[in-house]
């Protein structure tokens, strides 16, 4: 089974739109790994402005979550949350 490329595009767009990526003290991390049939995507970046912990994702993250759930059903997991002043997204999909 293939992975939905629009998910990666939206995640990368969010990093550039909402994150600080020009500060060498706060590097952006986007890691994609495939172990057997499990695809893991991890991103970490410093947000442009501090946002309180929300119960809802922003529009881009909602779209990612919805696409993943429609395409992969229960074989996908996703978390998106502030961690120690940075914003972290984790996606795990069994292909």
pLDDT in tens, 35-89: 999 999 999 999 887 555 444 467 889 999 999 999 999 999 999 999 888 999 9
Residue-wise pLDDT for 70-81, tens only, equals 999 999 999 999
The average confidence (pLDDT) of the chain is 88
pLDDT of res. 55: 43
For residues 7-22, average pLDDT = 90
- The SS3 call for residue 51 is coil
Rounded CA gap, 85 and 20, in Å?
12
pLDDT of 50 reads: 57
């Amino acid at each position: 089974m293939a992975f939905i490329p629009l998910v990666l595009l939206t995640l990368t767009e969010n990093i550039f739109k909402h994150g600080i990526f020009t500060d060498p003290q706060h590097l952006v991390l986007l890691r994609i790994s495939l172990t057997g049939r499990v695809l893991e995507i991890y991103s970490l970046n410093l947000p442009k402005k501090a946002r309180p912990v929300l119960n809802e994702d922003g529009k881009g993250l909602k779209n990612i979550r919805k696409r993943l759930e429609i395409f992969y059903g229960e074989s996908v997991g996703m978390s998106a949350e502030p961690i120690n002043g940075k914003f972290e997204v984790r996606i795990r999909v069994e292909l």
